[in-house]
Structures are given as structure tokens and as C-alpha cells.
A and B are shown apart, each in its own frame.
Chain A
Amino acid sequence: MTNLWSRLFGRAKKGSGATAKDRLRFVLQHDRINLPPERMEEMKREILAVIVKYLVVDEDRVEIDLEQRDRTHSKLVAEIPVVNTTNAGARAVNSPAVKADGGYANGASNGAAAQKEEKSTSVDAEVAEPIAGAGDENTVAPFDDEEKDAKA
């Protein structure tokens, strides 16, 4: 989404060289995992469809993104805010999220556990490419800030 945003609105300010770079990044991201953009969207919808069978999800704030460090290191990072239905009144305070962050798949799961937050369910999802020597990089998503504000 942010990618699309910058692609649409970056164009006015930047020269076409920068646009070329953005477009290349986008196109190579999909080339390298051999999954075209539309298929990726389809996959996201399917992932979400499975999760909503079990959880109530704040679908507007779902983010599933492919992050790519270079040609051989890609990871799928998902942030899926879950609505806490057992305690509907407290919804805004404790909003657990399902987080799927495979790290850079390298066989050794040395990353994901460290970033577990209270009230978050961390799901380890290994991504396709076999990658060596990574996995230390984790995204901590600021998912509850707005809601706290909203409550106050």
C-alpha cells in the first residue's frame, strides 16, 4: 500500500529516474519470488479468509507485505489486528494481533520468539527461499497507538 502510494504521488516530485527505480523494485520483488502481483493479492485474501474463520479481525488495518533485502532474501511480514470479542468493551485497550513474520527463512528459528509482545500472538511462517545467515531482523508493529488515542 505504501508502495503504491509513493508510486502514485512520488511521481510529481521526483524525476523519472526515481520512478524507474521504484518500478524496478516492485517488478523484481515479484519476479524473484515468481509470484505476480495479482496472485499475491489472491494469496493475501486466502490467508485472511482462513484467519477470519477463527478470529474477528480488523480487516481495514490488515497488512501483509513482502520485504526483500536482496535477490535471495525475501520475507513475508503480516500484521493482522484481532478484535478481542470476549471483552467487547475493552476492545480498544487490548487489541491482540496475529503476527506472522517468518524472518528470513534459514532453518534455525533464532528470531521470532524474541519479539513476542504481550497480547500478541506470534505466528512463525517460514517463507519459500532458503536463506543463510539472517533471521535477526524483526518488525515490531505499532498497532495499538491509534486505538489508545481513540479511547482517550
Chain B
Amino acid sequence: MGGKVVTISSGKGGVGKTTATANLGISLAGLGKRVVVIDADIGLRNLDVIMGLENRIVYDLVDIVEGRSKLRQAMIKHKKFNDLFLIPAAQTRDKMAVSPDDMVTLTDELRADFDYILIDSPAGIERGFRNALEPADEVLIVTNPEVSAVRDADRIIGLIEAADKGPGKLIINRLKTELVKKGEMLSSDDVFDILGVTIIGIIPEDELVLSASNSGVPVTLNLQSKAGMAFNNVARRVIGEDVPFMNLDKSPGIFQRLVQLLDGR
């Protein structure tokens, strides 16, 4: 058995799955875990650029599945963490090139050597989602506090339950505290009331996420970033730590930053 497969999914596109996967990968590696992140969004490869690894790609997920590459050959080591690897998606292929069974075979091989295998699911509920769901031990559902994203999250949760993969846990991304205070945005409590699924992370809207994706250095490596800190907290909850939700009203205090530094970030 060994490692745990965690799939990051959402239903609706563009809510922050890839951002979450990259940051969780970095944070888990920062916490001393051996991690592989898999980009399962075949045809729309993105995780490589978000992690700043785009220029090292030789082989991809489809190459592994179709036997052109050994698993290890296709895994790209992160520049900063020796125990963090990326398996990129194929850019010019179609999602049908990989089957759910292929994903199970692949992840079973990885479980022996890694603590966490994170899978960045494509949007939608079709084959790509099925590929990402099949090997999952746990599913994290990313949503934004808005009607369409929450509705799609509900649909995904239903499908995850139907596949016997548990209800999943929720990451509420891009929360704008000022708007919630004015009553102009769904709060995390509202989203919880509606979906009834455990919340494992609340990530504020943060401009630094854009700078991070511009530079290919995930935001969790930026100690100034509240979103980065929130992602780091999610990682700690994933490994079973009991981390209180941070107060999103204040910028990270000196104490919190100190804790982060001591954590090796």
C-alpha cells in the first residue's frame, strides 16, 4: 500500500485546482514528505508551468502509459526539493489516451516509493475526471464562493460518493473577506451549509498567486502571501495535523511567519 493518492478536483474549470495541486505538492515536500504530482489534464498541460518545470520535460504521462518511457524517466525532479517530482500531461494527445485502469497501475507503482501522490484533475465530469478519481484514496474538491462553482462542486461530490470515494473534503478558494463582510459573497459557512462537506482549506484571494504563476514559483514559497500560508495549512491538515483556520483579516503576523520558518519553509 504505502503512499496515499490524493486527487484534486472541482467540476467547474478555472477555480484553482492546478494552483492548489502545485502548492500542496510544494508544502508537503516542505514538510519532509516524498511527493509526486501528476498532471492528469491531458491536452491542457499546466502544472509544469505553475511549478516552473516546463523546460525540463522529456516524456509525459501518455509516454509512460504507452510504454515509450519508464516511469522514472518521465518524472521531473523539482529544483528546490529532492523528494518532489512532476509527471507532466501530454500536450498533444486526447484524454482517451489514458484509462482509469492505467492510472491505478501507475499510482500503485508510485505508492511504494512516495508518501503522497497528488493528481491534478481536469475540469468536467468526463474521462479525465474519471482517470483522476479512480486511483484516489482521498479527494479534495476545490470551489470558489460563487453559485456556479458551488453547484458544480455538489455534482462532483455526488459522483465521488457514487464511486465510493468518500464525500471528499472542500477547499474554498478565492474568498474575499471584505465582500463576505459586506454580505456580497458567500461565506465559508454558507458553502458548508449548502454542501455539508468538511472544509479542509479556506484560501483568500491573493494577487501574489498571479505573480507566483508568472514566475513559476508557487505562492506557498512566498512567506508574505496569505494564500500561500493557507495552502500550507491545507498540507498540514492532509498529513493529519490539527491546524486552526487562520484569521483572514490580518496579514500573516510575525509569530505565524516564525512558525512557518521553523517548519522549514
Q: Which residues of chain A have a CB within 8 Å of any CB of chain B?
A: 14-18, 20-21, 23-25, 27-28, 31-32, 70-72
Q: What are 23 A-B pairs with beta-carbon distances under 8 A?
A: A14-B183, A15-B183, A15-B184, A16-B183, A16-B184, A17-B185, A17-B187, A21-B186, A21-B190, A21-B194, A23-B147, A24-B150, A24-B151, A28-B154, A28-B194, A31-B151, A31-B155, A32-B158, A70-B196, A71-B158, A71-B161, A71-B195, A72-B161
With A20-B147, A24-B150 as contacts: A15 and B194 at CB distance below 8 Å: no
Given the known interface contacts A17-B190, A71-B157, the answer about A28 and B185 at a Cβ–Cβ threshold of 8 Å is: no
Complex CA gap A46/B177 in Å reads 47
Per a CB cutoff under 8 Å, which of B151, B184, B195 touches A17? B184
Among A16, A27, A70, A72, the residue within 8 A (CB) of B151 is A27
Residues of A within 8 A of B250 (CB): none
6 nearest CB pairs, A to B: A15-B183, A70-B196, A15-B184, A17-B183, A21-B190, A17-B185
Q: In the complex, which of the residues A18, A24, A32 has the most CB atoms of chain B within 10 Å of its own CB atom?
A: A24
Tell whether, in the assembled complex, residue B186 and residue A17 are in contact, meaning their CB atoms are under 8 Å apart: yes
The A interface, classified by DSSP as helix, strand, loop or mixed, is helix
Q: How far is the CA of A25 from the CA of B2 in the complex (A)?
A: 40
- Binary flags per residue of B171-205, CB closer than 8 Å to A gives 1, else 0: 00000000110111111001001111000000000
B113 within 8 Å of A (CB atoms) = no
Chain B interfacial residues counted at CB < 8 A:
22
Q: Specify which chain B residues have a CB less than 8 angstroms from the CB of A20 in the assembled complex.
A: 146-147, 185-186, 190
Q: Do B183 and A18 touch across chains, with their CB atoms under 8 A apart?
A: yes
Residue in A closest to B195 when the chains form the complex, CB atoms: A71
Collect the chain A residues with CB atoms within 8 Å of residue B183's CB: 14-18
Q: A24 CA to B147 CA in the complex, in Å? A: 6
Most chain-A Cβ atoms within 10 A of its Cβ — which of B155, B161, B186? B186
Residues in A whose Cβ lies below 8 Å from that of B185: 16-17, 20
- Closest chain B CB from A13 CB (angstroms): 10
A71 contacts which chain B residues (CB < 8 A)?
154, 157-158, 161, 195-196
The distance in angstroms between the C-alpha atoms of A31 and B125, with both chains bound, is 15
The residues in B between 151 and 166 inclusive whose CB is less than 8 angstroms from any CB of A are: 151, 154-155, 157-158, 161
A64 to B187, CA, bound (A): 31
CA distance A40 to B155 in the complex (A): 20
Residues of A within 8 A of B179 (CB): 17
Contact for B194 among A17, A18, A25, CB less than 8 A: A25
Q: Could you say which residues of chain A place their CB within 8 Å of the CB of B146?
A: 20
